[in-house]
Amino acid sequence: MIAETGLAALWLAAALALLQLFLAFGPAAMRGGGTAPVRSVAIVQGVLTLFAMAMLMLVFARTDLSVLLVAENSHSAKPWLYKVAGAWGNHEGSMLLWVTILGIAGAALAIFSRTLEDRTFTAALGAQGTLALGFFAFLLFASNPFARLDPPALEGRGLNPLLQDPGLVFHPPTLYFGYVGLSVAFSLAVGALVTGRVDSALAKAMRPWVLGAWIMLTLGITAGSYWAYYELGWGGWWFWDPVENASLMPWLAATALLHSVNVLVARDSLRAWTVMLAMVAFSMSMVGTFLVRSGILTSVHAFAVDPERGTFLLALLAIYVGAAFILFAVRSGKLAEGPPFELASREAALIGNNLLLTVILGVVFVGTLYPLFVEAATGAKLSVGPPYFNSVAGPIALLLAVLICIGPLLAWRRDNGEKLKRLAIPALAGVTVLAIFLFAIPDGGLLEKVALGIASMLALSALLPLVGRKLRRTPLSTWGMVVAHFGVAVAIAGMATSSLFTSEVLIAARPGEQVAVGPWTVEFKSVTPAVGPNWTALQAELRASRGGGVSVLRPQSRFYSSPPTETTESAILTVPSGQLYTVLGKSAEDGRWQLRLWWKPLVTLIWLGGALIALGGALALGGRAWRGWRKAQEA
Amino acid sequence: MRGQLRILPVVLLVLLVGALVWRLAHPPDTDVQSEMIGNQVPVFAQTDALPGKPGLSSANLADGRPKLVNFFASWCVPCIGEAPVLTELKKEGVPIVGIAVRDRPSDLRQFLVDNGDPFERIGADPQSRLQLAFGSAGVPETFVVDGRGILRMQHIGPIEPDDIPDLLNAVRAAR
pLDDT at A471: 86
A130-A136-A142 Cα angle (round to 5): 130
* Residue A333 to residue B6, Cβ atoms within 8 A: yes
Query: In Å, how far are A267, A406, A410, A424 from A345, measured between CA atoms?
Result: 12, 10, 6, 19
pLDDT at A228: 86
Query: Measured between CA atoms, how close is B56 to chain A, in angstroms?
Result: 20
The answer to whether A123 and A194 are in contact (CB under 8 A) is: yes
What b-and-e string marks burial along A278-310, b requiring 16 or more CB atoms within 10 Å of the CB? bbbbbbbbbbbbbbbbbbbbebebebeebeebb
ipTM field: 0.83
Q: What is the pTM of this model?
A: 0.86
CB atoms within 10 A of CB A385: 12
Within 8 A by CB and 6+ apart from A361, the residues are A249, A252, A253, A256, A284
Rg of chain B in Å (alpha carbons) = 22
- Map residue A416 onto helix, strand or coil: coil
pLDDT at A524: 94
Q: Domains in chain B and their CATH numbers?
A: 45-173 (3.40.30.10)
pLDDT at A150: 82
pLDDT at A426: 92
pLDDT at B76: 83
* Residue B19 to residue A369, Cβ atoms within 8 A: yes
* Residue B1 to residue A333, Cβ atoms within 8 A: yes
Q: Which of B4, B20, B26 to mutate to test the interface with A (most CBs of A within 10 A)?
A: B20
Query: In Å, how far are A186, A189, A280, B12 from A276, measured between CA atoms?
Result: 9, 8, 6, 13
Mean pLDDT in runs of 10 for chain A (635 residues)?
A: 93 95 80 80 95 95 90 84 88 92 94 86 93 95 90 78 79 91 95 91 93 96 90 82 90 95 89 93 92 71 66 94 94 80 86 94 93 87 88 95 92 81 90 90 87 95 90 90 97 93 90 92 92 88 90 90 78 92 85 91 95 96 88 84
Strands in B141-145's sheet, in edge-to-edge order, are B121-125, B96-101, B67-72, B141-145, B151-156
Give CA–CA dist A397/A488, Å, rounded. 10
Q: Is the pLDDT of residue B161 over 60?
A: yes
Q: Which of residues 263-302 of A touch B (CB under 8 A)?
A: 272-273, 276, 279-280, 283, 287, 290, 294, 296, 298
pLDDT at A156: 79
Give CA–CA dist A361/A224, Å, rounded. 19
Higher pLDDT, A554 or B23: A554
DSSP state of A345: S
* Residue B20 to residue A329, Cβ atoms within 8 A: no
CA nearest to B2 within chain A: A333
Higher pLDDT, A597 or B31: A597
pLDDT at A110: 93
In the structure, what pLDDT confidence band is assigned to residue B3 with cuts at 50, 70 and 90? Answer: low
pLDDT at B34: 81
Residue of A511, A474, A499 lying closest to A587 (CA atoms): A511
Taking contacts as CB-CB distances below 8 angstroms, the residues of chain A near B16 are: 287, 369
* Residue A372 to residue B20, Cβ atoms within 8 A: yes
Element (H, E) at A581: strand A578-587
Higher pLDDT, B12 or B127: B12
A317 in B contact zone (CB under 8 Å): yes
Segment B82-104, tens digit of pLDDT = 999 999 999 999 999 999 998 88
pLDDT at A299: 58
pLDDT at B65: 92
Instruction: For chain B, list residues whose CB is within 8 angstroms of any CB belonging to chain A.
Output: 1, 3, 6-7, 9-10, 13-14, 16-24, 26-28, 30, 126-127
